[in-house]
Structure 1
C-alpha cells in the first residue's frame, strides 16, 4: 500500500475464492498497519452461469459486511453464448467491475491474480505461436481498462498456496469454484498439464517489453507524421533503427492503421521486415493495412477492402472500421461511409494522386441518412469524430503506456489516464 502515495479508494474484485478473499483481508490489514488514508470497497460479479452463484455472491456480501467494507453484487444478465464463453465472461466481468467502481467512487480496481495465474497466462500465450507479440511477459501489474480505470494486480508474485496458508492462519475460509477444474476451459487444461515446460521469467519479459515499447514510442515521436487523419508516414531515417524496436513500432502502426485489436502474426511481420530491409520500393498488405515502401519513406494506411458504411442512430456512439469513434448527439439518424472530402495538409499535397485518392476512400464521411439517399453532400452539424485505437483502448498494459501516448499524440488525441501514484 505504501507504493500508492495519494489517498485512493480501491475496489477489490472478490469472487469468494481464496485469491480474492486473501487480497481483501491483506489490503484491509495493510491499510490499518501503515496508517494510510486509502479506503476499500468491494464488488462481486455474479456471472449467473451456475445455480449456486447467487448464494455465493450473498456469502461474499456477508463477509464484506462483517469487515465493514461497502460491497456491491453485479449480475451478468442476458443470454450467454454457446461458444467463447470465457472471453465473453471476461469482457462482461470487467465492464461490470468498472461500473461498480464508478458507482462506489473507486479510483482503481484491485484483482487477486497470483503467480500461479501468471504462469498459466504465459503458457497459454506461448501456445499461440502465430501472433507476433510480446505477450510472453504475461499479465501486467497494472492495466488500464476502457481508457477509464486502472486494474492493479499486487499478488502477481505471490503463490496461491501462501495465500491459502494466510487465510487458514487467520481463520477464514473460501469458496471453491467448480469451473476451476472444468477441462472445457483452456486455463484449466494448462493448469493440469504437468508436462508443460517452465515458463520464462515474467520479469525479464516485462523488462524487454518495456524497452521495446519505449524505443518504439521514441521512434514514432521523432520520425512519424500523419496526413488526413489516417495516412501514417515514417521518414527514411527511421528505417535504420535497431531492428527489434523498428519491428515493434511497425507492428504497432500496422495494427493502428488497420484498426485491429492485435498486432500482425509472426509470418506477416517477417515478410514485412524483409521488404523494409531490402531498401527497395514495394508494397504489401497485412492486418487490413497497406504498407508502401518508397524512396521518401514508409507509408501505412488502411487497405481499401471492406471499408463499409454503418448507420449511426440518434444519440449513440459507435466504433467505425476499428479506426474512428463516431458520436451522433442529434435526434436524426446519421450514416458514416467512406468519403471523398479531405482537408489535406500542405505536406500531403506532394503525395502521388493515387495515394491521395486511396486516403479519401478510407476516410469517414458522415451525413444524414436522408442525405445519402438523396445524394446530398451536406455534413450534419454536431457529429463528433475521434480516432480510435483498439490495440490500446480496451486493455492497455502499463508497460505500453509510453507507446500508446505516442500514438495518441500522433493523431492529435488526449494522453491516456496515468496509473495511480
Structure 2
C-alpha cells in the first residue's frame, strides 16, 4: 500500500483524538452497515479505541428491505467482532411507506441507533459519511431537496431518544474511491447494496450524475456503502459559522432554575432564532422561512409584540425578549395524561425529563389545573412569568384529587437549555455531554444538518 493511499486516515485519527475522551469506561458507538465506508471507519476506530483505552460498540440496523439483509447483518457482526468491537444488531419493524422510503428508513435508523447507543451509555456515535456524500447532497439540493448539509460534529437528529448524543463524522474529508483503495490494500471486503444504484431514489441518481464517464459514455461503476447512502436530514440554516454563531444573542432566562425559558437579543440571527423556537417549543420541525422572517423583522424594528411559532411564545417588550412554551396549545389541543413508569426517565412535551419512584402517576400541563395546586405550589409558579406557568408539568395520581408540581412528586429536569447548547455548537467535546434519556419517537429530524 502506497503512502498516498493512507493520507486520508491521518485526519480521521486526529479528529477522533480531538473530539473523544481517552481512557474512560464508556463505550464509543459506531454505525456499521457492512459497506465500504463503515468498514474502513470500523478499522480506524478500533485502532483508536485500543490505543486509548476505550470500548467500541458497533451497531447494525437491518431495515428488512433486501432479501440478503440478514446475511449482511451477520457479516457486519462478524467483522465487528474480528476488529475487537462489541456488536449489536437492530431491526426496523415499522411500517413501510408507499413513498419516501429512504427518508423513513433513515429516520428509523437514527432512532434505533440512538436508543441502543444511549442504553449502552455511549455519548458519541461515529458515522462514516465521506466527501462523496457531501457532493451528492449538493446535487440533491440543487434539484429541490431540503436535505441538510453534513457536519462533522452534530447532535443526534433523534429527539428525544438521542438527547445529549452527538454524531461524529471524521471521514468527510475522504473520497469514497480512496477509502475503498485503502480497504483493498488491506485485503478487506465489504458489502454492496444494489439499492444505492437504483435510479428510483434521489441519492442514487445524484451519485450516478457525479460518476466520471468512460469510452462510449458508459459510467464507471462504484461499490457503495448501504447505511451511508443517504445523508442525515436537517436544515442548512442551522449550520452556524464559528465567527458569528449567534450564541451571544441567547441567554438563559433569569427565572427559577430549570424553567426552560430563554431570553434573546433583538439582533438574533435567523438560524439561532429558529433553533431557540424549536427547542423551547419542544418539537422538531423548523419554522417556515416566511414566518421566521416576519418575527425577526418585528424584533429588529423594536416593536413590542407577542407571537407564537413552533409551539413557542415570543414576548417582545421594551426591556427584554422572552421565549417560552405556548401554554395555550395545551388548551386548544388537549392531550391525554402521560403515564409514568417507576424508575424510568420519561420525556414529556419534548422539554422535560421526569422520573417517579412510586406507581400511579401521570404527567399533565399545569394549564387548567393551577387553581387545584397547593398554596405552596401556586406560590412557586408565581415566580414565573404568567405566560410560562401553564406549560409547567404537574403530576396527578389515581388515588389523589389534587395535582402537584412535577419536581415535588418526582424528579423533573428541563431539557431546553442542553438541547439548545448542542444545536448551537456549545458542546464541542465528548466530555461536555450529559447523561442518557429515552422518550417518544421523533416525527422529523432537526439538528443533523
> Which structure carries more helix by proportion?
1
Q: Shift of the alpha carbon at 1:52?
A: 0.6
SS state at 2:394 partner:
strand
Matched, 1:400 2:400: no
Structure 2: distance between partners of 1:98 and 1:253: 23
Among candidates 27, 42, 50, match of residue 66 of structure 2: 50
Residue 338 (structure 2) aligns with: 312
Could you say which structure has the greater relative contact order, defined with CA pairs below 8 angstroms and 6 or more residues apart? Answer: 2
Matched, 1:220 2:237: no
Residue 242 (structure 2) aligns with: 210
Residue 414 (structure 2) aligns with: 387
Residue 200 (structure 1) aligns with: none
Structure 2: distance between partners of 1:382 and 1:24: 45
SS state at 1:400 partner:
coil
Q: Shift of the alpha carbon at 1:30?
A: 6.8
**Gap runs ≥5 in structure 2:** 1-12, 157-161, 212-235, 436-449
Does the 8 Å CA contact 1:141/1:153 hold for their aligned counterparts? yes
Matching of residues 158-307 of structure 1 within 5 Å: 158-193=174-209, 208-213=240-245, 215-216=246-247, 218-221=248-251, 224-226=253-255, 229-234=259-264, 238-239=265-266, 243=267, 245-307=268-330
Kindly tell me: are residues 390 and 230 of structure 1, through their superposed partners in 2, closer, same or farther at Cα, counting changes over 3 Å? closer
Does the 8 Å CA contact 1:367/1:379 hold for their aligned counterparts? no
Residue 232 (structure 2) aligns with: none
Does the 8 Å CA contact 1:312/1:318 hold for their aligned counterparts? no
Q: Shift of the alpha carbon at 1:183?
A: 4.0
Residues 112-163 of structure 1 show CA distances to partners (whole Å, capped at 9, x for unaligned) of 1111112334555676688xxxx86x22212344235443221111010111
SS state at 2:273 partner:
helix
Aligned-residue RMSD, C-alpha: 4.1
Residue 42 (structure 2) aligns with: 24
Scaled by the length of structure 1, what TM-score is found? 0.72
Does the 8 Å CA contact 2:62/2:92 hold for their aligned counterparts? no
**Gap runs ≥5 in structure 1:** 196-203, 349-354, 404-413
Q: Shift of the alpha carbon at 1:57?
A: 1.8
Kindly tell me: are residues 345 and 366 of structure 1, through their superposed partners in 2, closer, same or farther at Cα, counting changes over 3 Å? closer
